[in-house]
């Protein structure tokens, strides 16, 4: 059974809820998914023992892209997470009225690719309140690729 780690950074709970929905979908379909809050993890060896890692992060800031605050220390140390050759996908909540809609998702995708991870699915960018059907569809897409 593939093992998938889901790590999220979330301030108001939107991205956290998305992470839980993804985990539920994966766990109900032959994958062992574990959810961790970015506030509770450190980067060294984070991906060890997992077949794939899904990163979730909301976007903050006005004139520039700011990652959700709990995700920042992890992002800055991400080269120690063991992502080389690892399957990765990225999701996050945002608001399209801002200049950089879900900019954190783009920033994290770029970083994990630089670190040698393989993006196994296009990112999931959620505008406003998460719609669970959209999240489940994305999780099912990921499901076949981990």
Ligand X SMILES: Cc1cc2nc3c(=O)[nH]c(=O)nc-3n(C[C@H](O)[C@H](O)[C@H](O)COP(=O)(O)O)c2cc1C
103 lies in the site for ligand X, by CB under 6 A: yes
Given a contact cutoff of 8 angstroms between Cβ atoms, the answer to whether 45 and 15 are in contact is no
Per-position x/- string for 23-62, each x denoting binding to ligand X as judged by CB under 6 A, each - no binding: -----------------------------------xxxxx
**For ligand X, which residue of 4, 5, 6, 10 counts as binding (CB under 6 A)?**
10
Give the nearer residue to ligand X in terms of CB position, either 15 or 25: 15
Tokens representing 97? 């009225």
- Can you read off the two tokens belonging to residue 84? 């080389």
- Judged by CB under 6 A, how many residues of this single chain contact ligand X? 20
List 39, 98, 106, 119, residue binding ligand X (CB under 6 A): 98
Instruction: Tell me how far apart the alpha carbons of residues 36 and 129 are, in angstroms, rounded to a whole number.
Output: 21
Decide whether 67 or 112 has the Cβ nearer to ligand X: 67
State in angstroms the smallest separation of the CB of 88 from ligand X: 19
The pair of structure tokens assigned to 121 is 């699915």
Residue among 39 and 115 whose Cβ is closer to ligand X: 39
**Site residues (vs ligand X, CB under 6 A):** 10-15, 58-62, 68, 93-95, 98, 100-103
């Amino acid at each position: 059974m593939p093992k998938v780690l889901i790590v999220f950074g979330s301030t108001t709970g939107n991205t956290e809820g998305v992470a839980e929905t993804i985990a539920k979908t994966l766990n109900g379909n032959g994958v062992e998914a574990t959810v961790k809050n970015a506030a509770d993890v450190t980067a060294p060896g984070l991906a060890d023992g997992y077949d794939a890692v899904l990163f979730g992060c909301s976007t903050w800031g006005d004139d520039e892209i700011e990652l959700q605050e709990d995700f920042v220390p992890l992002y800055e140390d991400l080269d120690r997470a063991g992502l080389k050759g690892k399957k990765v996908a990225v999701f996050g909540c945002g608001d399209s009225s801002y200049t950089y809609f879900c900019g954190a998702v783009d920033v994290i995708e770029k970083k994990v690719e630089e670190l040698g991870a393989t993006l196994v699915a296009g990112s999931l960018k959620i505008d406003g309140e998460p719609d669970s059907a959209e999240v489940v569809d994305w999780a099912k897409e990921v499901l076949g690729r981990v």
